[in-house]
Structure 1
Amino acid sequence: MTALASPPVVSTEQLARLDVAGPRYTSYPTADRFVEAFDSAAYRQALEQRVSGIGAGAVPRSSLSLYVHIPFCESVCYYCACNKVITRHHERSAEYLDALEREMALSAAALGCRAAVSQLHLGGGTPTFLSDAELARLMHAIQRHFLLTPGGEYSIEVDPRTVSKQRLSHLAALGFNRLSLGVQDFDPAVQRAVHRVQPFDEVETLLNAARDIGFDSINIDLIYGLPLQTAMSFQRTLDQVCRLRPDRIALYAYAHLPERFKPQRRIDAAELPVAGQKMAMLASAIQAFGQQGYDYIGMDHFALHGDSLSVAKRQGRLHRNFQGYSTQPDCDLLGLGVSAIGRIGATYSQNAKTLPEYYDALRDGRLPVVRGLALDRDDLVRRSVIMAVMCQGRVDYESIEAAYLIRFHEYFAAELDRLQPLVDQGLVRLEVDGLQVTPLGWYFVRAVAMVFDKHLQAERSRARFSRII
C-alpha cells in the first residue's frame, strides 16, 4: 500500500462514528490483559521451553530480538506516555546498569546458552542519557550474554539534543547501525507547547553526520495532533522532513490521556487539533511522503521503497511487535529493564514498572517479571488475523484455516457480521478468498482489527485506549 493519490473524503458523521478509542495492536491480546498470575516462575519456564522446543509457539532455532529500556530523561516532554524517570542526576544510571547486567545473567542462565540476537533496540526514556562509557559498558554486557549476529539490526533511540557527531561515531563503533531520532515537530511554537525545543538546523547537521559515519538506516519520529499544530505548520514540518529524507518515518497520533499520564496535564486540551484536523494532517503526510518515494507501511510507518521494512511488507514478512512494525515475524522478543515487555513463544511478559520493585527482584535473584499472559488457542488464531489486518491489510482465509484447522466463516461468523458496517462505509472489501482493507480503510485500520478482538468486544469498554484518529 503506497500513498493515496489524494486525501479521502470522510464526512463529519463518519468521523464521529469511527473515531473511537481502541488498541494500537502492538500485541494481541493487548497488554491490559496481562495478569499477575503469570509471574517470574512462569516466565522462566517459557525461557526454558524455548530452548527445549516443548512450549506452544516455541521456535528454538530462531534468533532473538532484544529490547533494552533506559528510563532516564533530563527533562520532561509533555506529550510523553513512556515509562520514564526525570532526573539530572546521571550517577543514578550506574545502579541501573548493575541491575540490567544481573537481569541479563538470569535470562541467559534460563535460556541455557548464549542465544543469538539478530535485532537489538535501545529505547526509553532517553538511551543517550547514558555516558559514552556507560553505553560501552552496556553493549559489552549484552555481548557477554548474547551473540549479536552479523548483519543484524542494532538500533538506538536518540534525542538530538543529547548527541554530537563524536557521540554518533562512538555509537557506530559500539556496533549500532540504525538510529531513531526523536523530532515530533519542527514548528517552534509547537515545540515550546510540548517542552521540547530543537531547531531544524541542529537535526539536519546531526542527520548528515550520521550519514557520513555510515549508519545503515535513520528513522525520524513525528507526532500529529500536538497542541498548536495547524495544517499549515504541519505541512512545513513535512517539507522539512522530506528535505532530510530519512530512510524511515514513524508518524504517531498524539493520544491525550492526562488522567493516565501526568505530564500531559500541562497541555491545554483547547489547543489540540480536533479529529477532522488530525485526519487531514495524516492525509497530507501520506501524500507528501508518497510523492517523495516513501511506501506507506501502515498506520504509523513509512519507509523508502528499498528499505528492508518496505521489502518485508511486499514479501509478506511484516510483523508488528511492542516497538511497532518489524521485519522479523517469527522472532521472540526479550525485554530487559524496568517496565520492558517481551514475547517468548506463546507468552507475553512485563517487568516491574518502578525502579524499587525492579531492583528488589534482582537483588533477590529473581527475574523481575510481575505480570504476563500465556496465550490459548483462540488467542493465537485471533492474533494471526489481527496481525494480518495490521501488517498486510489483508486476511487470506485459506492460510488461517490451514494453520489452525478451522473453517474461517464458521469460526468468525459473528465477526464477519460485525464487519458489514465497515464494508458498507468502504473501509473493507469481503472477497471470496479473504478480506481486504481499502485505501480509505488504512486510516481506520485499528477499527477493522478491533472487530476480531474477543476481549474488547466482550467488555465494550475502551476508555483506557487512545482514540483511533
Structure 2
Amino acid sequence: MAIDRLARYTQPVPRYTSYPTAPHFHAGIDSACYAEWLSETDPENPVSLYLHVPFCDRLCWFCGCHTKQVRRYDPVTEYLDALRAEIALTAAAFSDRRRVNAIHFGGGSPTMIEPADIANLRAKLDNAFDLDPDCAISIEIDPRNMDGEKLEAWRRFGMTRASLGVQDFDPHVQHAINRLQSLEQTQLVVQSLRDAGIGSINLDIIYGLPLQTTETLLRTVDLALSMRPNRLALFGYAHVPWMKKHQSLIDQDSLPGPAARFDMAMAGAARLADAGYVPLGIDHFALESDSLANAAAAGRLRRNFQGYTTDEAETLIGLGASSIGKLPQGYIQNTTSTADYIRSVRGGSFATARGFELSPSDRIIGRLIESLMCNFSFSINDLKRAFGSDLGSLPVETARIATSEGAMVFFDGDVFSVSAEGLPFVRVIASRFDRYLQASKARHSAAV
C-alpha cells in the first residue's frame, strides 16, 4: 500500500467498543442517576454482567487495562467484599428480580481469586439474580497463575468459555514486555480446560509488540493454532504511555512502525484464514462451528466493551472498579480508584464516577458504527425502520463520506459498505461518522 494512503488510514482513532466513546463520558452522570436508570429498565428483559478484577501478581508492560500488581492476597479479599456489596446494591436497585444470560470476568487477572472466594461470588450472584441454566460464563485466564484447584472452582462456578492471554511466544518479545509465559504452560492449561469439559477456548495474540517481526508473529500464530482453539483474537498493540505509565518501560524505538504493523496484521489474518478460521470483525477469528461465527453469519454479531460477542442483552451491568456498564438510557463507569470504589459501596452507594446519556442521534450513529465494526456495512433504510424516518442529515453525510473515501467504500443510496481494500481500515472509516471525535482532545492508539 502507498505510504501516503497507509498514513491516512493508520491514524489514531477509537476502537469503537461504544459510541460515544469513553473519553466523552462526564461527571454529570452520578450514582443517583445510575440507580434511577436501573429502576427504569424492563424487568422482562435479561441482563448481562461484567465483573472486573483489577489485580495482577505481575504487571505486563504492554497492558492497557485498569489493574495493579499486588504481592499479598489481602487487598484482593477486601476488594471482593466490596464487589459482593455492589452486587447486592445493584439487585436492590432493580424494580424486580432480574434474569442473567451472560457473565464475563475480566481484569487484571480473575484467576488470582482463590477457590473459596470463587464459590462465594457464585453464591452471592445466585442470591441476587436468576442465572439462566444456559448462562454464558466467560473467564479471562492468565495461564501463569492457573492451577487445578482454581480450574475446578471455576468449573463449579459454571464457566463455559475460557479466554487465555498468549500475546507472543517469542522469548525476546516476552522479555521486552515483562511477560514470561512458556508454550508448555499454555498447552497444559488448554488441555486441562478441555479435560474439565470447557467447550469454548479463546487465545489472544498481539501484533505490533517490541522486537516483534512478521516472522516471529507467524511462529506464535502457528503455535497457537497447534492447540486448535475455538477462537483467536489478533489485536494490535495500543501504545498509550500517556495513559498507562508502565508502558514507558517499553523501548519505543523497538516498536514496529506503521508499515511493519500493517504487514503483521495482514500476514497473521491470512495464516488464520488458511487454517480454517472465519474472520469476524476487525480482529477476531473462529471455527465455523463456533457460536461467534454462527452469530456473524446470521447478522447477529455484536460489539461491546469486551469486544465481539453474541450477547444481545440491552442492559450490561459493570461491577467493580473502573467497570463500564450500558443501559438503554446510556453508559456509566465506576471510579477507577479501588480505594474510592471500596469506600463508596461499603457506604451503601454506587461508585459511579461518570457516564453519558444517549440522545436519539447518538443511538442512530451508535447502531451505524456497530454495524460497520461487525458487518462492514449499514443500511439507511434499516436505520429508518429502527429509529423512525427522520435521520436528519445522515443520508447526505453518508454520501459525502462515500465520495471522500473513494474505492474504500461503496454506497448505492441505501447500503453503505466497506470494500475489500478498506476492510483493514474500518475503524478509520467508522470514525468519519463520529460527531464527537473532532472536538475531542483525547488521544487514541493506531488503527492498525
Q: What band does the TM-score fall into relative to the shorter chain?
A: over 0.9
Q: Which AA in structure 2 matches 1:129?
A: M
Q: Which AA in structure 1 matches 2:418?
A: V
- Give the superposition deviation at 1:451: 1.1
Structure 1's unaligned 5+ residue stretches are 1-9, 52-59
Identify the match of residue 3 of structure 2 among 6, 12, 20: 12
SS in structure 2 of the partner of residue 366 of structure 1: coil
Q: 1:7 matched to which residue of 2?
A: none
* 8 Å CA contact 1:21, 1:463 repeated in 2: no
- Give the superposition deviation at 1:166: 4.1
Runs of 4+, deviation exceeding 4 Å: 407-410
Q: Return the alpha-carbon distance in structure 2 between the equivalents of residues 408 and 290 of structure 1.
A: 38
Q: 2:178 matched to which residue of 1?
A: 195
- Give the superposition deviation at 1:47: 0.3
Q: 2:235 matched to which residue of 1?
A: 252
* 8 Å CA contact 1:415, 1:451 repeated in 2: no
Q: Which AA in structure 2 matches 1:438?
A: S
Structure 2's unaligned 5+ residue stretches are none
Q: 1:466 matched to which residue of 2?
A: 445
Identify the match of residue 156 of structure 1 among 121, 136, 139: 139
The answer as to 2:296 corresponding to 1:317 is no
The answer as to 2:353 corresponding to 1:370 is yes
SS in structure 2 of the partner of residue 456 of structure 1: coil
Q: 1:431 matched to which residue of 2?
A: 412
Q: 1:26 matched to which residue of 2?
A: 17
Comparing 365-374 and 110-119, the one that deviates more: 110-119
Q: Return the alpha-carbon distance in structure 2 between the equivalents of residues 373 and 249 of structure 1.
A: 32
Q: Return the alpha-carbon distance in structure 1 between the equivalents of residues 24 and 435 of structure 2.
A: 11
* 8 Å CA contact 2:118, 2:153 repeated in 1: no
- Deviation per CA, 1:180-217: give whole Å up to 9, x if none: 10110111110111000111122112111211211121
Q: 2:217 matched to which residue of 1?
A: 234
- Deviation per CA, 1:90-143: give whole Å up to 9, x if none: 111111111111111111011133311111011001111111111111121112
SS in structure 2 of the partner of residue 229 of structure 1: coil
Q: Return the alpha-carbon distance in structure 2 between the equivalents of residues 412 and 266 of structure 1.
A: 46
Q: Which AA in structure 2 matches 1:168?
A: L
Comparing 87-96 and 185-194, the one that deviates more: 87-96
- Deviation per CA, 1:340-399: give whole Å up to 9, x if none: 000011210000110121122113211111111110111011111111111111111211
SS in structure 1 of the partner of residue 333 of structure 2: strand
- Deviation per CA, 1:37-62: give whole Å up to 9, x if none: 110011011100004xxxxxxxx422
Identify the match of residue 451 of structure 1 among 432, 435, 443: 432
Q: 1:392 matched to which residue of 2?
A: 375
- Deviation per CA, 1:260-292: give whole Å up to 9, x if none: 111101000100011111111111111111111
SS in structure 2 of the partner of residue 353 of structure 1: coil
Q: Return the alpha-carbon distance in structure 2 between the equivalents of residues 340 and 168 of structure 1.
A: 24
Q: Return the alpha-carbon distance in structure 2 between the equivalents of residues 217 and 177 of structure 1.
A: 7
Identify the match of residue 85 of structure 2 among 90, 93, 102: 102
Q: Return the alpha-carbon distance in structure 1 between the equivalents of residues 242 and 318 of structure 2.
A: 27
Q: Return the alpha-carbon distance in structure 2 between the equivalents of residues 269 and 162 of structure 1.
A: 29
Identify the match of residue 347 of structure 1 among 324, 330, 337: 330
Q: Which AA in structure 1 matches 2:267?
A: S
* 8 Å CA contact 1:165, 1:210 repeated in 2: no
Q: 2:312 matched to which residue of 1?
A: 329
The answer as to 2:173 corresponding to 1:182 is no
Q: 2:207 matched to which residue of 1?
A: 224
- Give the superposition deviation at 1:452: 1.0
* 8 Å CA contact 1:204, 1:244 repeated in 2: yes
Relative to the length of structure 1, the TM-score reads 0.93
The answer as to 2:291 corresponding to 1:308 is yes
* 8 Å CA contact 2:380, 2:395 repeated in 1: no
Q: Return the alpha-carbon distance in structure 2 between the equivalents of residues 105 and 407 of structure 1.
A: 41
Relative to the length of structure 2, the TM-score reads 0.97
Q: Report % sequence identity.
A: 38
- Give the superposition deviation at 1:86: 1.1
SS in structure 1 of the partner of residue 41 of structure 2: helix
Change (3 A) 1:113 1:463: closer
Q: Which AA in structure 1 matches 2:374?
A: C
* 8 Å CA contact 2:14, 2:444 repeated in 1: yes
Identify the match of residue 104 of structure 2 among 89, 97, 121: 121
> Pairwise CA RMSD of aligned residues?
1.4
Q: Which AA in structure 2 matches 1:33?
A: H
- Give the superposition deviation at 1:250: 1.5
- Give the superposition deviation at 1:18: 1.3
Change (3 A) 1:409 1:428: farther
* 8 Å CA contact 1:317, 1:328 repeated in 2: no
Q: Return the alpha-carbon distance in structure 2 between the equivalents of residues 397 and 18 of structure 1.
A: 24
Q: 1:74 matched to which residue of 2?
A: 57
Q: Which AA in structure 1 matches 2:26?
A: V
